[in-house]
Amino acid sequence: MLHGVWHFSFTVSDLDASVAFYQDLLDFQLIHTQEQRNPYTSKLVGYPDAHLRVAQLAVPGQPRGLSSHDLELVQYLNPEGRHVDTEIRDPGAAHLALTVDDIHDRHTKLTDAGVRFYSEPNAITAGVNEGGFTCYFEDPDGAVLELVQPPAHRLAANGPA
């Protein structure tokens, strides 16, 4: 029986810079950080002598159920990773969609901070989210993120984003 989603994770090149990005620009809350350098971690990730720095972040105010965090950021100190170019269209590529109620203001704030967007917020003109807005952007390592402002009737039904 499936009970939920424990977490989702991005591998990053600089944990401190990524934590700052997700905290300061996207309003995630840092839950904790830790270093992992032990036989269990090496076996888990499949690299002998693995050494990782890990941070867990959460969306403030959301229910916390079985999971103790929502977003995990991992920096490999050993073996050191390398940047791989992927495009959103490539199999295996992923993106994380974040629900907001102020997409235009957030787009401006993030653009002013130097964040790379694929486009300005786009009006959603078809489908279940018709009447809302959406746009893709990237985190410091190029992971694709999405802002979604649901249509007013969905926001009203579920409370603030």
pLDDT (tens digit, 9 = 90+) per residue, 114-139?
A: 999 999 999 999 999 999 999 999 99
Asked if 49 and 110 sit in the same domain, the reply is no
CB 57 within 8 A of CB 22: yes
Q: Which parts of 21-123 fold into alpha helices (H)?
A: 39-45, 103-112
Give the structural domain span for 17: 8-78
**CATH code of the domain containing 117:** 3.10.180.10
How would you classify the pairing of strands 144-149 and 51-58?
unpaired
3-state secondary structure of 42: helix
Asked if 55 and 24 sit in the same domain, the reply is yes
The predicted model scores a pTM of 0.91
Q: Please give the tally of structural domains in the chain.
A: 2
Asked if 17 and 70 sit in the same domain, the reply is yes
Please list the pLDDT of the chain residue by residue as tens digits (161 residues). 877 788 899 999 999 999 999 999 999 999 999 999 999 999 999 999 999 999 999 999 887 777 667 899 999 999 999 988 888 999 989 999 999 999 999 999 999 999 999 999 999 999 999 999 999 999 999 999 999 999 988 877 776 54
pLDDT (tens digit, 9 = 90+) per residue, 38-53?
A: 999 999 999 999 999 9
Asked if 57 and 103 sit in the same domain, the reply is no
3 within domain boundaries: no
CB 121 within 8 A of CB 107: yes
The number of CA neighbours under 13 Å toward the Cβ of 156 is: 4
Residues 6 or more apart from 156 whose CB is under 8 A from it?
none
Residues in the chain: 161
